[in-house]
Structure 1
Amino acid sequence: MSSKSSEVVGEPVVSPCRRQCCLDEQDVCLGCGRTLQDILDWSKADRLRQRAIFAAAEMRLQQRSSNP
Structure 2
Amino acid sequence: MSAPSREAAHPPSPCIGVCTVDPATRTCGGCRRTLDEIAAWFTASAAQKHAILADIARRSRA
Alignment TM-score, normalising by the size of structure 2 = 0.79
State the one-letter code of the partner of 2:50. Answer: R
Identity of aligned residues (%): 33
Query: Which whole-Å CA distance do the structure 1 matches of 2:17 and 2:59 have between them?
Result: 17
The total of aligned residue pairs comes to 58
Higher relative contact order (Cα pairs below 8 Å, separated by 6+ residues):
2
Q: What SS does the aligned partner of 1:38 have?
A: helix
Query: Which whole-Å CA distance do the structure 1 matches of 2:19 and 2:60 have between them?
Result: 13
Kindly report structure 1 stretches of 4+ aligned residues shifted beyond 6 Å.
none
Structure 1 unpaired stretches of 5+: 1-5, 64-68
Query: Which whole-Å CA distance do the structure 1 matches of 2:10 and 2:16 have between them?
Result: 17
Instruction: Give 2:14's aligned residue.
Output: 16
Deviation at 1:55, TM superposition (A): 1.1
| Structure having the larger proportion of residues in helix | 1
Alignment TM-score, normalising by the size of structure 1 = 0.73
Structure 2 unpaired stretches of 5+: none
